[in-house]
């Protein structure tokens, strides 16, 4: 909370990935930029976070063991939760028709893994500017 500056509402980002090191690194990247970050390492909790809080951006990993990123997307679609900003990271080639299903709930872009600094910079510039 040290970075919060009174009257200035900060951007809030949710990072969902099963790998703690990655979520931590991404969280550090955003917090250096004074963006509030929440990290979740399993799908079910990620879904709960999305349902219960407003995030300016959600970074979603697809290949989460157990409750996967795809499961989260279907559940959001089923619950008709819309107006989200979701950026997907996936190791495999995501088929475009598969993504087309989720444009309506707010999937904005798909990036292939690995997550790199360039990609994070790009996302920050594109989706997290006031």
**Binding residues vs another protein (CB under 8 A):** 19, 21-22, 24-26, 28-29, 32, 63, 91-93, 113-117, 120
Cα 37 → chain centroid:
10
Least distance in angstroms from the C-beta of 82 to another protein:
31
- 99 burial via Cβ count (<10 Å: 0-12, 13-18, 19+): middle
- 4 burial via Cβ count (<10 Å: 0-12, 13-18, 19+): exposed
In the complex with another protein, which residue's Cβ is closer, 1 or 93? Answer: 93
Least distance in angstroms from the C-beta of 9 to another protein:
24
Least distance in angstroms from the C-beta of 97 to another protein:
16
- How far is residue 93's CA from residue 90's CA, in Å, rounded to a whole number? 7
In the complex with another protein, which residue's Cβ is closer, 76 or 87? Answer: 87
């Amino acid at each position: 909370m040290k970075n919060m500056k009174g009257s200035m509402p900060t951007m809030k980002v949710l990072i969902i990935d099963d790998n703690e090191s990655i979520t931590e690194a991404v969280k550090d990247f955003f917090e250096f930029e004074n963006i509030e970050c929440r990290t979740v390492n399993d799908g079910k909790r990620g879904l709960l976070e999305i349902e219960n809080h407003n995030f300016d951006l959600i970074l979603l990993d697809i290949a989460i063991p157990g409750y996967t990123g795809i499961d989260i997307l279907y559940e959001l679609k089923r619950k008709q939760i819309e107006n989200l900003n979701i950026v997907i990271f996936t190791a495999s080639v995501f088929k475009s028709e598969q993504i087309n299903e989720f444009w309506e709930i707010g999937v904005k872009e798909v990036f292939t893994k690995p997550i790199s600094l360039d990609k994070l910079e790009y996302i920050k510039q594109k989706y997290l500017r006031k």
